[in-house]
Amino acid sequence: MFQVIKISSQTAIHQTDATLGIVKRYWTPKKITSEHTLQNLILADDQLSRHTSQCPVRDYVSQVTQITEDSTPMVKILPFSKVPGPRGLPVIGTLFEYLKKDGLKFNKMFEVYRQRALEYGNIFKERVGPMHHVVISCPVEYSKVINAEGKYPVRIQMLPIAHYRKLRGLDLGLVNAQGEEWYKTRTIVSKKMLKLSEVLRFSEEMGQVADDFVTRLDTATNSLGEVPGLEYELFKWTLESIGTFLFEERIGCLGDKPTPIAHSFLENVEGFFRTLQPLLFDVPVYRVWPTDTWRQFEHYADNIMSIGTFLVHKSLEESASSSAFINYLANDCHMATQEITGLVVDLLSAAVETNHIQANLYGMYHDSSLFPKPESFLPERWMKTSDVQMDPIVKSTSQLVWGHGARMCIGRRIAEQEMHIVLSKIVEKFQLSYQHDDLEPVLSTMMVPDRPVKIKFTARH
Ligand code: HEM
């Protein structure tokens, strides 16, 4: 039996040695010798278990799901070590390449992967501190990985978040849970969040939030017609929108001055993701010794949990502010208040952090042999009637903005509704233009623009 680990935004399968289950089936090297065929890259079960039991970051091993026994038959066996990739040092892997002065940049990891793929082929492995990655850079191979997902698809666990929740005796939440624990929560939440009729019930409230956002843009524009801190304004809008869905109550982010609770939540979420980023990649010293970054991270996470607890309690206790979603969790699904809080905090954080643009699969999308003129904005290439012929697998793999399969973004319907409503209201009111240098992407847990997005909003008359 082999096991597969999750797929990250950079088409990496973050892995333990167990990731080989996928690699063994989909190995298609570009620039390495013929002996390294995928069929050759198979690790025997006993070798696998030896590897996993010796793994210094054993928690990753629990993040696995299994390919069932009817998977493609295995042919030959070669150790995982045969997967090409930068060699790195024991324990820290290639971490030193990122830490040294003028070295590789974490926030440009997607560029590093692009270069690595040119050097090592369509499937390569890299260990960066505690993170093991297997990176796939070919849509056809990637689609096979997608199709190999079972009932409980595994996604990378954000170890610092999991560690924090464990320390505080909390559930892992939807984003970090795996296996049956994940499935149970997912089934409960899907009934409310992925059902179109449920989400449509909130279109009027979303419309009011969008109206307030447009008013906010109008008042926040400077003499150049730009909105300083546009990202922060969007951040506020997403929080207000998801808060409206979860609590059926306005949190108060969009006035000239956010309410204290909105302000505090926004500050703490920002700090949470800022401190999460280094914790994800550094050697996890925090697990044995609370480093400064860890203490800050804990501080932000504690504050977010307190706000979540306050909002959930308020919703449960005050009938006037009671929300259908919270009531459904408490009464129909018999979830304990602490479980509800953990889930709500997950949804609030996922909702605000995934907002401005998550460019998954960066390397593939910038391959001109797959996407002609990859740097050009040619939306018509995605239209059914487009003249540009695109391989159906390449096309479907490139439409993964919401992820895929049973673990696809659970906020998709809400986010689509929010975006359609707010965009139509913005465009109805303003003409948008951009007159500055091109934006570049950087990673900050998600992929974000590297500088303020100074869009000019010109009111239509
Ligand atoms: C433009 C907005 C958004 C984008 C592009 C986006 C994208 C994604 C992606 C790519 C994933 C990973 C899926 C996978 O691994 O296959 C994901 C997961 C998730 N998203 Fe979103 N998302 C957005 C908005 C939201 C919103 C508004 C919410 C909350 C209401 C949300 C909650 C979640 C949660 C909880 C997960 C984890 C689901 C699970 O593991 O079962 N997202 N999102």
For ligand 1, the distance from its centroid to the CA atom of residue 417, given in whole angstroms, is: 14
pLDDT tens track, the chain, 461 positions: 222 222 333 333 333 222 333 333 333 333 333 333 332 332 323 333 333 333 322 332 233 323 333 444 445 656 777 889 998 898 889 989 998 889 998 889 888 988 888 899 888 888 888 777 888 888 888 888 778 778 888 877 788 999 999 999 888 888 889 999 999 999 999 999 999 999 998 899 999 999 999 999 999 999 999 999 998 899 899 989 998 888 888 889 998 888 999 899 889 988 998 898 888 877 789 999 999 999 999 999 999 999 989 888 888 887 655 788 888 999 899 998 888 988 888 888 777 654 372 233 677 778 888 788 888 888 788 777 777 677 777 777 766 778 888 888 999 999 999 999 999 999 999 999 999 999 998 887 677 899 999 999 999 97
Residue with CA nearest ligand 1 atom 27: 351
Q: Does residue 411 have its Cβ closer than 6 Å to ligand 1?
A: yes
Q: Does residue 174 have its Cβ closer than 6 Å to ligand 1?
A: yes
Shortest-distance atom of ligand 1 to CA 9: 10
Name the phi and psi angles at 97, rounded to 5: -65, -25
Residue with CA nearest ligand 1 atom 16: 403
Q: Does residue 239 have its Cβ closer than 6 Å to ligand 1?
A: no
Q: What is the structure's pLDDT at 77? A: 56
For ligand 1, the distance from its centroid to the CA atom of residue 412, given in whole angstroms, is: 7
Residue with CA nearest ligand 1 atom 18: 409
For ligand 1, the distance from its centroid to the CA atom of residue 408, given in whole angstroms, is: 7
Q: Does residue 415 have its Cβ closer than 6 Å to ligand 1?
A: yes
For ligand 1, the distance from its centroid to the CA atom of residue 388, given in whole angstroms, is: 30
If one residue of 172, 329, 409 were mutated to test the ligand 1 pocket, choosing by the most ligand atoms within 8 A of its CB, it would be 409
> CA Rg, the chain, in Å?
23
Q: Which residues are within 8 A (CB) of 221 and not within 5 positions of it... i.e. 6 or more apart?
A: 227, 457
Q: What is the structure's pLDDT at 212? A: 96
For ligand 1, the distance from its centroid to the CA atom of residue 347, given in whole angstroms, is: 9
Distances (CA, A) of 134 to 7, 36, 450: 9, 15, 26
Q: Does residue 404 have its Cβ closer than 6 Å to ligand 1?
A: yes
Angle, CA 300 vertex, CA 294 and CA 304 arms, to 5°: 140
Annotated ligand binding at 409? The verdict is yes
3-state secondary structure (DSSP) of residue 116:
helix
Classify each residue of 365-378 as buried b or exposed e, where b means 16 or more C-beta atoms within 10 Å of its C-beta. beeeebbeeeeeee
Of 393, 401, 424, nearest to 211 by C-alpha is: 424
The residue to which tokens 């970054």 are assigned: 293
Residue with CA nearest ligand 1 atom 23: 354
Helices (H), ranges, 221-323: 230-247, 260-281, 292-317
Task: Say if the ipTM goes beyond 0.90.
Answer: yes
Dihedral sign (CA 386, 388, 390, 394): negative
Contact 353, 273 (CB under 8 A): yes
Residue with CA nearest ligand 1 atom 36: 409
For ligand 1, the distance from its centroid to the CA atom of residue 351, given in whole angstroms, is: 7
Q: Does residue 346 have its Cβ closer than 6 Å to ligand 1?
A: yes
Dihedral sign (CA 275, 280, 285, 289): positive
Could you tell me how many helices (H) and strands (E) the chain has, helices first?
A: 18, 9
Of 90, 54, 140, nearest to 370 by C-alpha is: 140
Beta bridge partners of 433: 456
Angle, CA 320 vertex, CA 317 and CA 326 arms, to 5°: 55
Q: Does residue 402 have its Cβ closer than 6 Å to ligand 1?
A: yes
Helices (H), ranges, 321-437: 324-327, 337-353, 362-365, 392-397, 412-429
Element (H, E) at 442: strand 441-444
Residue type, 159: L
Q: Does residue 455 have its Cβ closer than 6 Å to ligand 1?
A: no
For ligand 1, the distance from its centroid to the CA atom of residue 86, given in whole angstroms, is: 31
Beta-sheet strands, E only, within 118-196: 123-128, 131-136
Classify each residue of 56-73 as buried b or exposed e, where b means 16 or more C-beta atoms within 10 Å of its C-beta. ebebbbebbbbbeeebee
Q: How many residues does the chain have?
A: 461
Beta bridge partners of 444: 446
Element (H, E) at 282: none
For ligand 1, the distance from its centroid to the CA atom of residue 64, given in whole angstroms, is: 20
Q: Does residue 175 have its Cβ closer than 6 Å to ligand 1?
A: yes
Contact 116, 128 (CB under 8 A): no
Beta-sheet strands, E only, within 5-88: 12-14, 65-66
Contact 339, 171 (CB under 8 A): yes
